[in-house]
Amino acid sequence: MGATTMLISGFDLSQLADNAAQRGRQLLNDLQTYLERDHEQRELPEFGIEKAAELIGCTSQHIRDKENDGTLDKPRTHRVGVMDRRIYNYNEVNQIRRALKRDDISNGKCARIIFSNLKGGVGKTSHALHLSHYTAREGMRMLVIDLDPQATLTTAFGLVPGLNVDSGEDIGPALTTNPEIITRTIKHTRWNEIDVVPAQLSLQYTDWQMLQEQKSHESTLGPLPLRLHSALQTIEDQYDLIVIDTPPALGMLSLNAIAAADMI
């Protein structure tokens, strides 16, 4: 075997490794391109004025009247035959709610709901996602916090770790450094009423890090199980509901969620 070239049965291992690395980079670029295209194509569903009126709790004629007198913005339309039909999405419905003063559905206090189970595949993330969509559809301001390093809930909202979620843009720094950092990790989504604190694989390290640094940070950050509670106190006045998805394990992330919850 030479000093610079490794040969086994006539194969140059260095060249094989270079080829594999190049192929890996190409596959990664292809995956990123696909995710970017998918991310750009995701849009909220659109519907007509009848469904918009049903969601708002008024008649379709009332919406037409308010659009005609300038109370509401002129709607988007699309041509069907010889007619232009009004079209709306959930964001526009909530804008109409606010303009018509029909958005007072909160009691003024932010509620915290977590979905937790030590077993995986039991529907925690699905329930968190559907509750978030439903309450946002009804006009509530939502913060969704993903504590599961698998980031399934994160990607469901079109946020992809490594693509539009950078290193440190998760709940970890707020639990280990400064609770107010949570404001820097909040991401907007296509739903105007839904913000997300995303998850990524590095959250696995956060569990371990909190246990290792327990004594050195407890005097400044407070007891371990109350770190998330402290972080939420800094931003909960901006939301009607906070929904938290947890990993299928009873680690520090899950314990923090349980300690911070109003409903489990």
The string of pLDDT tens digits covering residues 5-32 is: 555 556 678 888 888 988 888 887 787 7
The CA distance from 160 to 35, in Å, is: 8
Average predicted confidence (pLDDT) for the chain? 87
Residue 263's pLDDT is what? 92
Domain boundaries, the chain: 49-99, 111-260
Residue 36's pLDDT is what? 65
Residue 121's pLDDT is what? 83
Is 124 in contact with 116 (CB distance < 8 Å)? yes
182-231: per-residue pLDDT in tens?
Answer: 999 999 999 999 999 999 999 988 888 887 776 656 767 778 889 999 99
Is the pLDDT reported for residue 161 higher than 90?
no
Q: Determine which helix (DSSP H) or strand (DSSP E) holds 153, and give its type and residue range.
A: helix 152-156
Is 110 in contact with 236 (CB distance < 8 Å)? yes
Q: Determine which helix (DSSP H) or strand (DSSP E) holds 142, and give its type and residue range.
A: strand 142-146
Q: What is the mean pLDDT of residues 239-251?
A: 93
The CA distance from 163 to 35, in Å, is: 8
Residue 25's pLDDT is what? 83
As a whole number of Å, the end-to-end CA separation of the chain is 63
The dotted CATH code for 111-260 is 3.40.50.300
Residue 69's pLDDT is what? 93
* 1 — pLDDT class (breaks 50, 70, 90): very low
The CA distance from 91 to 78, in Å, is: 18
Is 146 in contact with 196 (CB distance < 8 Å)? yes
Provide the 10 A C-beta neighbour count for residue 165: 21
Q: 3-class SS at 183? A: helix
Q: What is the mean pLDDT of residues 224-244?
A: 94
Residues 6 or more apart whose CB falls under 8 angstroms from that of 11 comprise none
pTM tops 0.85, yes or no:
no
Q: 3-class SS at 63? A: helix
Residue 41's pLDDT is what? 56
Residue by residue, DSSP assigns 189-218 as -SSTTEEEE---TTHHHHHHHHHHTHHHHH
* 129 — pLDDT class (breaks 50, 70, 90): very high
